[in-house]
Structure 1
Amino acid sequence: MKDTFKHKGMRQQLVDTIKKKGIKDERVLGAIGKIPRHLFMDSGFIDHAYVDKAFPIAADQTISQPYTVAFQTELMQVKPGDKVLEIGTGSGYQCAVLVELGAKVFSIERQQELFKKTSKFLPKIGYRAKKLIFGDGYKGLADEAPFDSIIVTAGAPFVPKPLLSQLKVGGRLVIPVGDSVQTMTLYLRKGEKEFEKHEFGEFRFVPLLEDKN
Structure 2
Amino acid sequence: MSEPNATPATSVLLVDDQDLFRAGLAMVIDAQPDFTVIGQASDGQAAIASVARLHPALVLMDIRMPGIDGIETTRRIIAHCAEPNVPPPRILVLTTLDTEDATRQALAAGATGFMLKNTEPEFLLAALRTLAAGMHVIATAQTVSLPEAPSAPPEFAELTDREREVFRAVSHGLNNREIAATLFLAEATVKTHVTAVLRKLGLRDRVQLVVYAYRHGLAD
> TM-score when scaled to structure 2?
0.32
Query: Larger % of helix: which?
Result: 2
Q: Looking at both structures, which has the greater relative contact order when contacts are Cα pairs under 8 Å and sequence separation is at least 6? A: 2
Structure with max Cα Rg: 2
> TM-score when scaled to structure 1?
0.32
